[in-house]
Structure 1
Amino acid sequence: MRQELSRSIATAEELESIVATMKGLSAVSVRQYENAREAARRYIATLEHGLQVVLAHGVEPASEPPPVDPIGVLLIGAEQGMCGPMNRRILDYAAAWLEDLGYDPSRQRVLAVGSRLAEELGAHRLRAERLLTQPGSVNGVPDRVTEVLLHLDGWRASGVGDVVAFHHSRSGPARAEPVTRHILPVEIGLLRELRDREWPTRMVPQLATTPRETFAALARQLVLARLFTAFVDALASEHGERLLAMQSAETAIEERLDLLRAAYRRERQTAITSELLDIVSGYEMMTR
C-alpha cells in the first residue's frame, strides 16, 4: 500500500511541475500579446489622425453601401488544447450573429484560423475555404496577417462587400468572451466622425501625395492594424484561458497531494506501530 501511495505521490509531483511550467509560459505569453495589442491600439489611433488630416483636405466619405450577401467571415479560434471550449463558443457566437442579421451561414465566405476549428465547422453550417494555423509567437503574427489580407483582397475582387472577424477578447483576469470586429471596409460612420472632429492644433498638416493616394494607403494600414489586433487579442485570450485552466489544475493537484501525503503518513504510522507491537510481543515471549 505504501509503495502504491509513493508512486502516486511521485506522479502527482511530476504533474505539478509540468503544470507550473505551462502556467508560467502562458503568463509570459499573455503579457506579450497584451503588449502587442496595446501597441496596435496606439497605431490605430495614429492612423485615425492621418485619416482626419486627409478628410480635412477635401476627401468626402461615400454613402453607406447596402449589405451584400455573402459577406466575408474571418474565424480566429484556438490552436492548442487545455483552454476550454473556445472554438465551440466562437462558432456558436458567429453562427448566431449571422442568423440574427439574416445571413445564411452556409452561404458565407469563410476563412478559418486555428487547426482545431475544422472539427466544429460542419455542426454550425459553416464551410471554410481555407484553414490556417495560428502563429506560434508575436513575431509570427505579421506574416499571418499579410497572408490573410491577400485572401481578403481576393474576396473583394470577387464582389464580397463587408468582412468581419470573430474572435475572443480578454480584459483583465476575467474569462475571454467572443466579440465581432469589423475589418472591411472602413466604416462611413467612423470617417464622418473623424471629419467632424476638431484638430488639436491651429495648423492642419500638409500631404506629401494626393489626398486620394494618402487615403488609400492609410485605409489599407488600418485594415492591417485591425487584423493584427484581432490576432493578438485572440492569442492573448487563448493563453489567458489556458492560464486559468492551469491554475485550477494546480489547485486540484495540491489538494490531491495533501490527501495522498496524509494517507501515506497514516500508513507509515500504522506500519511503525505494528512493528513496535511485534517487538514488544517478542520481548514479552522471550522474558517469560
Structure 2
Amino acid sequence: MSSLKEIKGRITSVNSIWKITSAMRMIASAKLHKAQGAIENMLPYERKLNAMLAGLLSSDDTIDSPYTVRREVKRVAIVAVSSNSSLCGAFNANVVRKLHSVLHDDYGKLDRKDILLFPVGRKIYDAVKKEGFEPQGDFQHLSDKPDYKGAAELAQRLMHLFATGEVDRVDLIYNHFKSTAVQIMTQEPYLPLEQEIPTADASSHEGKWNLQPDYILEPSRDELIRAMLPMVLSLKIYTVLLDSSAAEHAARTMAMQLATDNADELLQELTVQYNKTRQQAITNELLDIMSGAAV
C-alpha cells in the first residue's frame, strides 16, 4: 500500500494537471466561439457564390474554362490541413491517416514525383516529411490565423498549376466542423470545377440557383465567369481554413473537457485512498498504544 506522503504527492500533481486542463478548456472554448462565428458567417456566402458560378457554367455548354477541363490524372496536387499544436484529441491523427489512405489507395499507381503535397499546419507538414515527400511550401501561418490574402495566394498557385497542365487534379483534405462534439474528416475535389448546379432543400444554407435562358447578364456571361472564378476558388480555400480552425478548437475543447473529467475522477479516487490509508495508520497507532498499556 502506498504511503500517505506518496498519495498526497499524487493528489497535488493531479490537482495541478486539473487546473491546467481546465484553463486550456476555457481558452479553447473562447477561441471556438470566435472561429464558429467566422465559419457560420462565411459558409452560406461561399456556397451561394459557388452555386451561382455552377449555374453560369452549366447553363451554356459553349463556355470553355481551363478550370473545368477533365483530364486523365497523371499528376495530382493535395492540400491537407491540420493544426500547428497538439492536445486536440485525434484531430491531427485523422488528417494524417486520411492523407496516408489517399496516397496509397487513390494515387498509389502514381510516381512520387507526380504527387505534389501542400501541407497547411505543422503536424501535417511533419507527417509529409516522414512519408518521404517534399512539401511544396510552408503554410503553417494559415493554420493558426487563416487570412484571405494567404488563402488567395495558395489558390492562385493551385489554379496556375491546373491551368498550365502541371497537375490534372487538386484535392482538399480537412476536418469539417459540424458541432462541438463532431468533426467530419473530409476529402473533396477542388479542381476541376464541378459544373452541376447544387440543389438543396429550403432549410439549408445553399438554396437553389437556376439560371434561366431569358436572363440578361451585365456584363456578359464570359466576363462574369472570368471575374467569379478566382473569387470562388480563393473563397473555397479560405472557407476550408476557417472550417478546419473551428474543428480544431472544438476538438481541443472536447479533449480538455475529457482530461478535466478524468482528473476529477482520479482526484476522488486518490482522496478516498488517502482517507483509508490515514484511517488505517490511526487504527494501527491506537492498537500499538492499547497493546503497550495492556503489558
The TM-score bracket by the shorter chain reads 0.7 to 0.9
Unpaired segments ≥5 residues, structure 2? 199-207
The whole-number CA distance in structure 1 between the counterparts of 2:149 and 2:54 is 29
The residue correspondences of 1:205-284 to structure 2 (distance < 5 A) are 206-207=217-218, 209-277=219-287, 284=293
**Structure 1 pair 136–158 and aligned structure 2 pair: CA distance change class (3 A):** closer
Q: Do the aligned partners of residues 55 and 145 (structure 1) sit closer, same or farther apart at CA in structure 2, a change above 3 Å counting?
A: closer
Amino acid at match of 1:69: K
CA RMSD of superposed structures (Å): 3.5
Q: Is the radius of gyration larger for structure 1 or structure 2?
A: 1
Q: Quick one: distance in 1 between partners of 2:12 and 2:42? A: 45
Q: Partner residue of 1:88?
A: 96
Q: Which residue of 2 aligns with 1:148?
A: 154
How many residues are paired up? 277
Q: Which residue of 2 aligns with 1:2?
A: 4
CA 233–103 in structure 1, closer or farther in 2 if over 3 Å, else same: farther
1:166 to 173, 189, 192: 173
User: How far does residue 221 in structure 1 lie from its aligned partner after superposition?
Assistant: 1.4
Contact 2:122 2:140 in 1 (8 A): yes
The structure-2 alpha-carbon separation of the partners of 1:281 and 1:259, relative to structure 1 and needing over 3 Å to count, comes to same
Which is further off, 253-262 or 266-275? 266-275
So what's the TM-score if we normalise by structure 2? 0.77
Distance 1:122 1:154, change over 3 A: same
Q: What are the Cα deviations for residues 105-125 of structure 1, in whole angstroms up to 9, with x where unaligned?
A: 541222111112233225545
Residue 181 to residue 58, structure 1, CA distance change in 2 (3 Å): closer
| Residue 251 of structure 1, CA deviation | 2.9
- Counterpart of 1:94, as a letter, is V
> Does structure 1 retain, via aligned residues, the 8 Å contact 2:54–2:194?
no
Return the alpha-carbon distance in structure 1 between the equivalents of residues 189 and 59 of structure 2.
26
- CA offsets, 1:101-146, max 9 Å, x none? x5445412221111122332255454322132054655x4324313
Kindly indicate whether residue 101 of structure 2 is the aligned counterpart of residue 99 of structure 1: no
SS at the partner of 1:247? helix
Q: Structure 1 residues 61 and 67 mapped into 2: Cα distance closer, same or farther (>3 Å)?
A: farther
* Alpha-carbon distance in structure 1 between the residues aligned to 2:174 and 2:272: 45
Higher helix share: 1
TM-score (norm. length: structure 1): 0.78
Does the CA contact (< 8 Å) of 1:88 and 1:120 recur in 2? yes
Match of 1:67 among 72, 75, 81: 72
* Separation in structure 1 between the aligned mates of residue 261 and residue 164 of structure 2, nearest angstrom: 53
Counterpart contact for 1:176–1:237, Cα < 8 Å: yes
Change (3 A) 1:50 1:154: closer
Name the aligned partner's letter for residue 117 of structure 1: I
Question: Aligned equivalents of 1:110 and 1:55: distance in 2?
Answer: 29
- Structure 1: segments with no counterpart, 5+ residues: none
Partner of 2:210: 198
